[in-house]
Amino acid sequence: MDTQQQQSAIKGAKVLMVGAGGIGCELLKTLALSGFEDIHIIDMDTIEVSNLNRQFLFRRSHVGQSKAKVARDAVLRFRPHISIRSYHANVKNPEFDVDFFKQFDVILNGLDNLDARRHVNRLCLAADVPLVESGTTGFLGQVTVHVKGKTECYECQTKPAPKTYPVCTITSTPTKFVHCIVWAKELLFAKLFGDKNQDNDLNVRSNNSASSSKETEDVFERAEDEDIEQYGRKIYDHVFGSNIEAALSNEETWKNRRRPRPIYSKDVLPESLIQQNGGSQNCSVADDDSTVSAMPSLGLKNPQELWGLTQNSLVFIEALKLFFAKRKKEIGHLTFDKDDQLAVEFVTAAANIRAESFGIPLHSLFEAKGIAGNIVHAVATTNAIIAGLIVIEAIKVLKKDADKYRMTYCLEHPSRKMLLMPVEPFEPNPSCYVCSKTPLVLEINTQKSKLRDVVDKIVKAKLGMNLPLIMHGASLLYEVGDDLDDIMVANYNANLEKSLSELPSPVINGSSLTVEDLQQELSCKINVKHREEFDEEKEPEGMVLSGWTQAPATNGESASTSNNENVSDVTESSSGPEIASKKRSFSETQPENHKKEAENIESEDEDLMEIENPMIVSKKKKRVE
């Protein structure tokens, strides 16, 4: 296709972008400057102060506004002749169904979570529309092309459970306890006890983006003669009360989310704590400062005990008092250390109070200590590179130039003097339950496990279905939807509390379930195998799902699994000379340092994707050759 034909294809293309964050801003700009004239954008998020260092279409005056709408308006200022339509909504909303996706020539993803990526992948398969997937984490990034029947789909290879958390989620809209842990450790602890000069904005901003940063600094600055307990209450009221109220003023943010509850110390704690627990005089102190603890003075001994809101509040104040009373010289230089008992107590208490505010289940000190992890910050340059690669692959898709499709990896350190490593995409995995319809196997105690366990732990958590329908033969066991009458809802809810063998159509050893998601137009079979006992440590869920795809084994090595899920080993048979002629390895081997930089990456960038190990890519290329 010559240049004129290529420009004609670009101008006539209708493109859907999902995500208007770090990658999305760069991508929208690049699409507009490349000649695309009909672009649609979906993003449910609003702009946060923390976005401004890399999402260049946004300014401080935009804080609290829709990312999709502001990005659209910004690009139209320098490309006023093109059509850009924005949707401030969740891509999983019912209006974005298969028919909606069918109107586009290509879908371009810049998402921040595995669940949404899987949802878009399934809609693209159902609509038979090509998908260009992407993600970044620090200096690493990748772009992959997924075309139904020609390349593997996004779910053909196992994706590790993400250990990465968007900045805006951490600061504004936490939904998991780990979000609260990261907030307490990386923001609050660092603000109070770490480097005072570091850039750290603890405020959950409202539409009033002009709120003074000086006012925030005054809150965290303790006067020499200020009572430590009063200072602790001031911090408590600011981060758990005032900041939450400020966030609630932005109605747009909470339209489709659960609203948090502001918490103030006067509502939880007695007027004075000194007489109640003896203050910090009775604290546990040893020669090693890392053993200082707030628990003994509060009568808390068991780290596996679940503290309530009052206990967490007491620990929060007591731990803060101890830092100033016993470790004052360290303040300003501290960083979180999981072996620092007082630091762990403070972070656990702060995370639990925040979790209580946002309606998230609380965790014990023991659990909280094991959750915290490192963070890799977002790099704007990586986002720009990945956005350019997305557009390159999108143009190939529009030209139907399948032989030139590439999965491209952006590396932190050069390999063979190159920072970009392109490889040919793989063919569909015959073991993929999403695009190849391979049955799954569920080992479960059919007499003890309830249908609710299957729905929550398997159908929703592992298979990622949003509106599931479960059938056993011709019997409909469970369904969700707005069109159900009260009697049907009551019957399905009753089924949820029954064991599998007690259902109207009993599910026993050898039964076969059909599970569907009508919104995603996805259907799969689950063959049930009864099993009496499970290892509580290795199989804590009391059930094992096998047959969902994982990286195939090579040279007798079993493929690894993620998130401690029990997955049976899956190996691919030789694909024969026909596939071999289509598959060529770009690089047979990769240095060990690339393996380290591409595996087990944790990041706070909202455009993170699980970066596939280039060494594994190379091995898979060898196998099919």
d(CA 80, CA 13): 18
Cα–Cα nearest to 94, from 520, 455, 522: 520
Q: Is 112 annotated as a binding residue?
A: yes
Q: Which of 168, 180, 410, 524 is catalytic?
A: 168
Q: Is 559 annotated as a binding residue?
A: no
Q: Is 23 annotated as a binding residue?
A: yes
Q: Are strands 140-146 and 512-517 parallel, antiparallel or unpaired?
A: unpaired
Is residue 594 classed exposed, middle or buried when 0-12, 13-18 and 19+ CB atoms within 10 A define those classes?
buried
Q: Is 435 annotated as a binding residue?
A: yes
Q: Is 576 annotated as a binding residue?
A: no
Catalytic, 168? Answer yes
Q: Are strands 106-109 and 15-18 parallel, antiparallel or unpaired?
A: parallel
Q: Is 53 annotated as a binding residue?
A: yes
d(CA 259, CA 248): 7
**Beta carbons within 8 Å of 464's beta carbon, 6+ residues apart:** 114, 115, 118, 119
d(CA 497, CA 450): 6
Query: Contact, 580 vs 624, CB < 8 A?
Result: yes
Q: Is 43 annotated as a binding residue?
A: yes
How many other C-beta atoms lie within 10 A of the C-beta of residue 461? Answer: 14
Q: Is 67 annotated as a binding residue?
A: yes
Q: Is 359 annotated as a binding residue?
A: no
Strand locations in 148-200 (E) = none
Cα–Cα nearest to 408, from 388, 428, 427: 388
Q: Is 481 annotated as a binding residue?
A: no
How many other C-beta atoms lie within 10 A of the C-beta of residue 270? Answer: 11
d(CA 65, CA 77): 18
DSSP state of 330: G
Edge-to-edge strands, sheet with 440-444: 475-479, 468-472, 512-517, 522-530, 440-444, 543-546
Hey, is 311 helix, strand or coil?
A: helix
Cα–Cα nearest to 551, from 376, 432, 388, 394: 432
Q: Is 283 annotated as a binding residue?
A: no
**Beta carbons within 8 Å of 218's beta carbon, 6+ residues apart:** none
Q: Is 354 annotated as a binding residue?
A: no
d(CA 196, CA 49): 19
Hey, is 201 helix, strand or coil?
A: coil
Q: Is 113 annotated as a binding residue?
A: yes
- Residues pairing with 543 in the sheet: 444
Cα distance between the two ends of the chain: 30
Q: Is 21 annotated as a binding residue?
A: yes
Q: Is 232 annotated as a binding residue?
A: no
Q: Is 241 annotated as a binding residue?
A: no
User: Residue 575 — φ and ψ, nearest 5°?
Assistant: -90, -5
Q: Tell me the angle at which helices 213-220 and 228-237 cross, rounded to the nearest 10 degrees.
A: 140
Q: Are strands 418-423 and 407-415 parallel, antiparallel or unpaired?
A: antiparallel
**Residues of each annotated binding site for Zn(2+):** 153, 156, 432, 435
**Residues of each annotated binding site for ATP:** 19-24, 43, 51-54, 67, 112-117
**Residues of each annotated binding site:** 19-24, 43, 51-54, 67, 112-117, 153, 156, 432, 435
List the catalytic residues.
168
